[in-house]
Chains A and B, each alone.
Chain A
Amino acid sequence: MGEFKVHRVRFFDYMPTAIRAMAFNSRTERLALARADGALEIFNFADNYFQEKVIPGQDGRAVEALCWVGQRLFSAGLNGEITEYDLENLRPRYTVEAYGGPIWTISSNSQGTLLAVGCEDGTVKMFEILEERIQFQRNLDRQKGRIISLSWHPSGTLIAAGMMDMIRIFDAETGRATHRLLVERGVGASKSKEVVVWSIVFLSDHTIVSGDSAGKVQIWDGVTGTLVRTQLVTKWDVLALSVSNDESSLVAGTSEGTVVQFQFISSTVGQQDKEWVRTRTFKNHSHDVRALAHTETAVVSGGMDTQLVVRPLLDKVEKNTQESALRKMTLPHRSLVCCAKKAGLLLFQFPDHLELWRLGESDGHGEVLKQKDHICCSALSPCGGWLAYSTVTSFRLYRLQNNNISITKVSKLPKDLRSAHQLCFSPDSSKLFASSSHSSVIVVALNQPECKYLHTLKPKSGSRQPVHLLFASEDGKWLATANTDCEIHVYNLDKLKLHCTVPVYSSCPTAIAIHPTTSNLVAVHADQQIFEFSLVQKEYTEWSRKLQKQGLHSLWLERDTPITHVAFNPQNPAHIILHDTFMFCIIDQSLPLPEAKTPFYNQMTLRSLPEPQRIIHSHAFKICKNFQHLMCVSLLEDHSLVVVERPLLNIMSQLPAPVRQKKFAT
């Protein structure tokens, strides 16, 4: 098989940020997630929960709430601004000041015409949603406390607002507050603290459900303004509530990390009188759950422990299938590590700075970039001479010299190169490729000490989605790009025009690479399918057809993290090296493909078998699970393997304080 010298790298101190808010768009099946540093992520729930898009954060953009209006995404934060995002160019489209102080919540009516925000100064501000912008319409009656949460009645005529110690019901047309529901404070020591109604839901039968800081979930009658039921769910706060579309199930997230489900059912079977009954409790988080979304079939939760958990409900999906498995998304679905193969350098991308390390030494360079905008993408040239990174608004190129002791900034950059979603250097470090708006790629020539604009490559399909994957072939002839519309285009760099387009597959590509000698494009998709496409013949290769016909092994398809990097072995052209978060795999194309019934992870057993038996039993997929959690696996020029790990324990030990739970015998 092969032995490699492994550089095991564990000094990438990547720290994911806490999840602050989320919103699910059931029509497009996309989940939007806002993190504490202002970053926004879009997950495609229909495509194996792939993290399609990431909009980097910004200092000071403290997002508190998210809201979908059709295909448009709005956020509101403590900086008092409402932001609409451009999901095709991965940046904020515009921001509108609400002039009400910090904004705590944002919600739109079911018709999608009005946007209501709850502000610190006690006003609920209504904005009209127009074609290209939003416009302030009016304030509702100003209240004496801050508005923490809002919920529209599905008819769009009433709004329930959760404040301190009380809930107010507003008439959306007149703006008058009609009812005031007083929320009881906690018992004991918390009686002196005001109770905060963190979350509120207005159902179509005029029932209001509220979750507050005293740990109660209360059910109110919105018509008479009376309390129907109180349920003490936790000793700490109930931070988030979410109701399903058909209003039969409700989930509440607590500071303990539990998610409690309530269902609208009758307590005895067959009877008509339904009520909200507490049914299930999920404990999938170690820290506070601050954001919840209830989809058709699952409960999605996220919070201070930075993991996104999707828990399918077993009464909506079939048990013991791939569909019903618990999914946890911890690390990003894209590579944050760039490896300069020839120079033995590693570039680590953090939100606000980059770190450059040399393998074999223990100290490295840390470049701290004091910028408000966070870094979108970064790249290091294979020779280690150039470094480039891009934020939402700017682009920087640096020249590294004297074994990267000196870093000089290249000042004169071409005008067209303003910001990029993805960057890639050519293997001979003579060109830089930057993905720009609407699936186009800008080609820039690097002649020291300056760089010159060469060309813009555009696909024929006219897709407006951004390119998230770039790969330049070793011989400098081809450039492969993939965008979130699931298109893969290959350009001929000698002629600087489109060579071919790979037939579109329904799942988004997560990693692409071009073989150095055979010029075959290998593409791995979010649903774990692998394709190999010959660029010379413009068709799928024989091996790829064989793989498709036989089908991939079920254990391969059941993996829940995507492949983020594909590499090749110069010593053995039949090898393809892939990795995801929990394993790295070497596919040997010369060996037979595994049958559905054969044991898939058979590396350990093979070692114990004698030689002739080993040949009979070995199959193409050789998987190694020694290293976890993997952030990058790359092959250097001297045939040693670089494995960048980020153990989950290291992340967990740096998380903020969880609640103290007294457990028996501890």
Chain B
Amino acid sequence: RDFNERCAQCSEVNWGLTDGGRFYCRSCHNVTERTREVVNTDFAVNSRIQTISKGLRKQKNNDGDCEWYVCEGFQLILKKQAEALETLGVCPQMKDEILYNFWRCYLQKSKQAYCKRPAAEAIRALSACESSTDVDSEPERPSLVHLLSLSESDGDLQTDCSFASSTSKVSESTSVCSGSVDGSLYFIKNQKEKLRMTMPMTLSFCYMALLWLREPMTLSDLLRFVVEGHIPYLNVFQHFPEKMKLCGLDLKIFCVESWPAYEEVYNKMLELAAFLDLPRFPDITDSCFLHPDMLCMKYLMEANLPDELHNWTCRVVKKISVGEADFLTLVPGNKSTRKVKYDVLAAAVIIVVLKLLFLLDDHYEWLLSDFAEERNKNNKEGGPYFEFKKWYKVIKCSLDVEQNKLDEERAKYLWRCEKPLYYSAEKKSKVLKRRQMVVNLQNQFGKLSGSVRPAEKPNPSSFQLSWSEENTDGSCFHGHSLKGILQEKCGLLTAMNTDYWLCTVKLCTEKLCGHLAHYREVVFPESYHFVLRLFSFLLRIQPSYIHDEVCVIEHKLFNKKVCKKPKYNTGLRK
């Protein structure tokens, strides 16, 4: 039952996981019959964890509080998140098999469980000797003040500093500063950086599992669902069982006060996949949701652009070979290949197509639009030609409304949870009093504002903007034709527009400044800003990320031309 069993065929100990959750030996590809059991993570019945720490566990005190480890907390959180994802329509296999296998693999690799010497023992060893040594003479043992001042990201809980300084004189035993057994250990820098678990990483785990199963949910979708409250994240620890008391440093671990950024979750996922020694992920083929052809279709619909543009996105995808399974599939640990952000890629492809067809230099697209308008006025049969101007007006209107709504929602976000938090028992009464006052004031002003706060979350939906062709006001552009901007040449449809401007002549290196291009530092046409803004809103990421991707695509597309410094167009339009 050990992970450390030797392979029957080659005697190696080098296991990986198949889709079906079986172990296979990576050296000789021998698949075992062993399957992972579904772990029942009901806390009280989790015999696995109990067995491991059987020898060490004692009832801490009489009111039923028990010892718990930080990883158990995270395990509960992952469980909740997986359940929420299942409610959203993700297949149950994700929760029951994939996610938990990943998690258990992680526990093993980080030596927190399922191995001979769990970290718990290390803690016991520490606390055994601390009582006999003078705190001040052990310089490598960080003081409570130091621990509390470490922050892993901004937006961390600012601890009550007076608390920190006043209790540094109190006994430094770990049981004082956290409800969990190993909470304080979490902040001690270790020689072997073992990819310590954090709240944002829970989402990395989720996304990794989704990706493995090739579920139709992009990372931006996932993060959006988190912010909209469909997937527990903020304050999820309040669902821990009563017996698991949270206080002190636990709060720093579990209580986050910021939404994780796309980049953060994504990069951590890559690190995690490498750390877990995962094999090549299941192939992303052109029938997968995450394939750019599929995602482009979805985004085109959402952006209310003509379906005909899909041909063009497919052509671009083909031309620059970003539709290949080898390009799209994640191979953990392989540092040479650039990792793919499917949603950003699809958005960027669409933008490049728009630039190809409409130029987007603040002149040409309006010119084309005027022609289309003329034509549409005089010619009612045969379906309307796509008018950029009309589209712009419709989208801008909706975008502004939605963005305003979003901004207001963000300002109205409530971060506090029902369960009041406190660092230590001494602070409890103060915290509770403060909580009472907050509730009173909220009631008082809530009455004045007249409205009852609408507590419903928006229904989770994959599409944020939807357009229906049944609308008679002509605000849906899906069926509009691109004929007005295309021409036939040698039997092929090409754009009437023969120009193109590059977002950047030279790509920067990520190592130098972290970016491939610098969106903010250059003046671009307003239309370009607009389409970036649109997709930035849909994906909930900074426009510069999409811009970077656009630059990369352009360089692939015009590779030869860029290198040869062609006559027809190089620089940026002013």
A and B: bona fide binding partners? no
